[in-house]
A and B are shown apart, each in its own frame.
Chain A
Amino acid sequence: MSFRNALESGKFVVTAEVGPPKGTDIKKILHEAEMLKNKVDALNVTDNQSAVMRISSMSFCKLLLDMGHEPILQMTCRDRNRIGLQSDLLGAAILGIKNVLCMTGDHPNAGDHKEAKPVYDIESVQLLQVVDGLNSGRDMMGNDLMGSTDFYQGAVVTPEANPLEPQMMKFEKKINAGAHFFQTQAIYDIDKFRDFMTSARKFPVKILAGLVLLKSAGMANFMNKFVPGISVPQVLIDELKAAGKEKAMETGIEIMARHIRQLKDESVCDGIHIMAIGAEDKVPAIMERAGLL
């Protein structure tokens, strides 16, 4: 079943993500993708994540398609102007890529080419409008296309953004611009997430809760301090600490599995998006523990 059909059928959907490497040796990422085959409903491929230059998202999406995976093409507005973005979207369509996640993209300042000229000719809301236009057979200027696209387009939202209200107004703009699904920034507090879902449920969109694997108490503290929009509750940090260094990863897996079970059993949202960040090999174990396999 395609990702779109799975979501629309009401199935509790699971997506994960892989980040292509810097360089042409793709043995590791191919192995990760192989392990996730027939387990996840779709696999995101990041677009020069954290503004660090790597293999393009589109190329790896094509390899995933060839493997029988369903890829979600992440597309940021950092590196291409409106001509480049539209051209790549058309290119993705002819390769058979069906899903696209429209994002603004981390600023070059966060990455390994700080001297790069940031593009941001358009941004996430406008990119969603562009995809909607291409799906209807016209480009941004209203020119007719010789053959339209048929993308299932989504976006991201940060349920724990501070302040939250402008984030929610932007969320609504993204929905009006044509987003069908959302993958959220990492959440750790299910009750708080439930509050977010109460507002999100007013709209006809599918929401996948973003889950980042906690590998240690140190990692949790680091994210609380340095990653905007992520807040790991103290009880979870204590749980990781109590487990000790050796068992921390194991505990992180247990925490995520527990959250997944809760989200699914209580029908809090429409699915989950697992971000293992370097521990992609743990995803099958997490899913098994959560009762998804």
Chain B
Amino acid sequence: MEKLKNYRSFFLIGCSECASLCGTGGDPELASMKEAIEAEGKTVTGTLLPKTGCQTLGTKIELKKDKEACAAADAIIVMSCGAGTQSAVEIFPDKPVFPSNDSLFLGNMTRFQIFDERCSLCGECILDQTGGICPVTGCPKGLLNGPCGGTDNGKCEVSPDIECAWVRIYERMKKTDQLEDFKKTLEPKDWSASRKPATLNTRQKKEEKK
């Protein structure tokens, strides 16, 4: 937050979706951020908890009621993810926008505010061939054809905190009678399917289908 030194007043934006679930950008976090900034002798001109921060158009409309508070702020702080932050960048072409969080991964919430990474959005899903468990994400090497030599009693060589994805896949496919598929060699992945930056227009795709 070194960057904030140069500014005196801020408008804060959270998000009621993931950032609220994570407890990093919901109402309580907006309030404590406001307190922390004010404790530094700076001003918070207003806060907004948009419905979906990454939905640029919706957030822009929600921000209309805070027009003056936004205008009065030297900078905007976004307390959701990198996507939400860049929605704000688009909405405020003339104002500096800063993220308060590092965006880590697409998480499955296994228990309240405890997250596991299960899918890394590779663009070409192979779950149908791996017993529904993703090795692209669950195996630190992203192996596609079985366990490496480092697997140890079901633990991964990278860390004993990681269950070897390939042992999990093997056990599940055995249970679900899919071991014949386990024996099939998977082709190298087409990484062009996850080329950055991606764009998608599902509306147009649907129309084309019709």
Contact = CB atoms under 8 A, between A and B. Distances in A.
Interface of A: 78, 82, 104, 106-107, 109-110, 118, 120-126, 129, 140, 156-158, 161-163, 165-167, 169-170, 172-173, 176-177, 185, 228-229
Interface string B151-192: 111100111000000110010000000010011010110010
Interface string B102-114: 0000000000000
B141 interface: yes
B148 interface: yes
B149 A169 contact: no
Contact of A106 (B157, B179, B191): B157
A169 B140 contact: no
A157 B188 CA distance: 21
A124 B147 CA distance: 11
Interface residues of B, number: 28
Contacts of B143: 104, 120, 123
B146 A169 contact: yes
Contacts of B167: 163, 166
Contact of B144 (A123, A157, A163): A123
Contact of A118 (B141, B145, B151, B166): B141
B148 A104 contact: yes
A167 B157 contact: no
B129 to A, nearest CB: 13
Contacts, number: 92
Nearest to A228: B152
A198 to B, nearest CB: 19
Contacts of A109: 140, 158-159
A126 B150 contact: no
B142 interface: yes
A176 B141 contact: no
Given A82-B188, A107-B140, A107-B150, 10 more contacts: A104-B143, A107-B158, A123-B142, A126-B187, A129-B185, A162-B151, A163-B167, A166-B170, A169-B179, A177-B185
Identify the interface centre among A121, A156, A161, A185: most chain B CB within 10 Å of its CB. Answer: A161
Given A161-B149, A166-B182, A228-B150, A123 B141 contact: yes
A165 B167 CA distance: 10
Contacts of A161: 147, 149, 151
Nearest to A127: B188
A69 B187 CA distance: 35
A173 B170 CA distance: 15
A110 B140 CA distance: 12
B152 A229 contact: yes
A41 B139 CA distance: 36
Given A156-B149, A228-B149, A163 B154 contact: yes
Nearest to A82: B188
27 contacts: A104-B143, A107-B140, A107-B141, A107-B150, A118-B141, A120-B143, A121-B191, A122-B188, A123-B141, A123-B142, A123-B144, A124-B145, A125-B185, A126-B145, A161-B147, A165-B170, A166-B146, A166-B166, A167-B147, A169-B146, A169-B170, A177-B185, A185-B149, A228-B149, A228-B157, A229-B151, A229-B152
Contacts of A229: 149-152
